[in-house]
Amino acid sequence: MVNVAVLGYGTVGSGVYEVLTQNKEVISKRVGDEVNVKYVLDLREFPGDPVESVLVHDFDIILNDPEVDIVAEAMGGLNPAYKFAKATLEAGKNYCTSNKELVAKYGPELIALAEKMNKNFLFEASVGGGIPIIRPLNESLTGDNITEISGILNGTTNFILTKMDKEGSSFDDVLKEAQALGYAEKDPTADVEGYDACRKIAILSSLAYGSHVDFEDIYTEGITKITDVDFKYTKKMNKSIKLFGKSKNVNGKIYAMVAPFMIDDEHPLFSVNGVKNGILCKGPVIDDIMFYGSGAGKLPTASAVVADVIEEARYLNSHIKMVWEPEKIEIADIKTDENKYFVRVEGNADAKLAEVKAAFGEVEVVTVDDVTDEFAFITNVMAHEKYEEAAAKVSGIKQRIRMA
Ligand code: NDP
Ligand code: HSE
């Protein structure tokens, strides 16, 4: 029998428990041994819930039980998750987690510890919810040198942007809805300010390029400045706005960023709506490959955690190689990153165009009938630094969004 302990009985942890117990027969068959949930750890009581029979409040019970083979964590945060992960691996047990904060910060250290102990530290659910992306990067795409990853990596913000775009909903109302549906982080600032997507692109980039991409080095903008007026322009232009986590290797220089991007209806990620996430990888061998699915939510995320449990149950005593070296990759300065920009300016286009052209050169002007006292323009491709220089010469800029 393979015994599992689940840490955290919130949105994801309760889903993991549900899938492991309800699908026990098929899971055990796929492992070739019975997979049993021996413990669930949480701070709270759950009166009347079937979990009561396995509920514990003291992690040491799990750590000190030699029958526990796999610990699946869905508590979130760094503390005590880091302490628990380290202690679990040091005790000769396997660990898997949906916790991207933990993986982005301590990934290389915990992978190295797992390797030393001949155990596994897996984290499929840490990026893209239910989408298999970590295992494909670590196993299926390993014959290629990935050159670019662009992803809609946060379900909450994609849910908000989609509802603002398609239903004209208000930012605050949709955020509350996303929280009620269990999509958002405990502190939703992590979602709306892009910090969650930042950790996810750091994890994907580290695996794709093989060395540590530190999330703290990644330029990050969230979606809090996106307004209903921006969507009036996108509607006219058949475009949409998505929060992207991006990284690319340009002649050996690694760029990485998180920011809202305006994309047109032919972009492969244009139709990734609601809580869905989409991840596009490019490489000279694979060309383009895209991954799509639910980026957050109880059962889709549980699916990814359970897949890790199954993998660890199959390889209980052998380490699955994962290359994420601790040496930091130097991230190229955002100032040199090149994009077109969509810019909204106060005033009348006829009166202001000379000022805009003097700063930016030729631009494409966009106006929308029911948006008065302002206009928008689209720049040519320019480096971030050049954009900032030009923008400083134009008064009344209200908004700027990169275009992809
Ligand atoms: P929840 O807040 O719903 O669940 C976390 C659970 O863990 C809560 O029940 C919490 O108890 C419990 N917990 C916290 N600290 C401890 C502790 N020290 N000991 C025991 N139990 C503890 O979070 P989610 O399930 O939404 O998320 C969990 C993790 O999964 C996070 O890292 C998140 O980023 C990640 N994730 C979430 C997804 C989602 O769709 N929700 C998708 C992919 C990843 P209490 O409530 O009392 O604090
Ligand atoms: N808060 C995260 C999101 C959960 O909305 O994408 C999944 O990682």
* CATH classification of the domain holding 373: 3.30.70.1150
* DSSP code for 373: S
Q: How confident is the model at residue 37 (pLDDT cuts 50, 70, 90)?
A: very high
Strands (DSSP E) found in 42-124:
55-56, 68-73, 94-97, 121-122
Residue 96's pLDDT is: 98
State residue 164's pLDDT score: 97
Instruction: Give the model's pLDDT for residue 223.
Output: 98
Cα 304 to ligand 1 centroid, rounded to whole Å: 15
Catalytic residue numbers, as ranges: 200
Ligand 1 atom nearest the C-alpha of 295 is: 42
DSSP code at position 2: E
Looking at residues 376-383, what average pLDDT do you find? 98
Closest residue (by CA) to atom 43 of ligand 1? 129
Q: Which ligand is closest to the CA of 295, given by its number? A: 2
Average pLDDT score over residue span 326-330: 97
Tokens coding 183: 């999509």
One domain for residues 115 and 186: no
Q: What's the mean pLDDT in 330-345?
A: 97
CATH of the domain at 22: 3.40.50.720
Same domain assignment for residues 203 and 148: yes
Is the shortest distance between the CB of 196 and ligand 2 below 6 Å? yes
Q: Which pLDDT score is estimated for 343?
A: 98
**pTM score of the predicted model:** 0.98
Whose CA is closest to 223, among 294, 265, 172? Answer: 172
**Looking at the structure, do residues 153 and 257 belong to the same domain, yes or no?**
yes
Ligand that comes closest to the CA of residue 82: 1
As a 3-state breakdown, the chain gives helix, strand, coil percent values, each rounded to 5, of 40, 25, 35
What number does the ligand 2 atom closest to the CA of 183 have?
Answer: 5
Q: Which ligand is nearest to the CA of 200?
A: 2
pLDDT value at residue 264: 96
120 and 224 belong to one structural domain: no
Same domain? 256 vs 290: yes
For residue 67, what pLDDT band results from cuts at 50, 70 and 90? very high
Assess whether 176 and 309 both reside in one domain: no
Q: Largest Cα–Cα distance in the chain?
A: 77
pLDDT band at 367 (very low <50, low <70, confident <90, very high): very high
What residue spans of 228-327 are helical by DSSP H?
228-237, 298-314
For residue 354, name the pLDDT band (cuts at 50, 70, 90): very high
pLDDT band at 362 (very low <50, low <70, confident <90, very high): very high
Supply the range of the domain harboring residue 39.
Answer: 2-129+298-321
Average pLDDT over all residues of the chain: 97
What pLDDT, on the 0 to 100 scale, is given for residue 261? Answer: 98
From the CA of 200, give the closest atom in ligand 2: 8
pLDDT of residue 211: 97
CA 82 to ligand 2 center in whole angstroms:
20
Mean pLDDT of the 333-358 span: 96
- Taking the C-alpha atoms of residue 99 and residue 139, their distance in angstroms, rounded to an integer, is 21
Q: How many domains does the chain have?
A: 3
Tokens at residue 249, please? 């290797």
Give the model's pLDDT for residue 379.
Answer: 98
Q: Which atom of ligand 2 is nearest to the CA of 190?
A: 1
pLDDT at site 207: 97
Q: Indicate whether 172 and 283 sit together in one domain.
A: yes
Average of per-residue pLDDT across 189-202: 98
Task: Flag whether 159 is in a domain.
Answer: yes
Q: Are strands 253-264 and 397-403 parallel, antiparallel or unpaired?
A: parallel
Identify the residues whose C-beta falls under 6 Å from ligand 1. 8-13, 41-44, 74-76, 80, 98-100, 125, 129, 182-183, 185-186, 296-297, 301
Q: Is there a single domain that holds both residue 67 and residue 206?
A: no
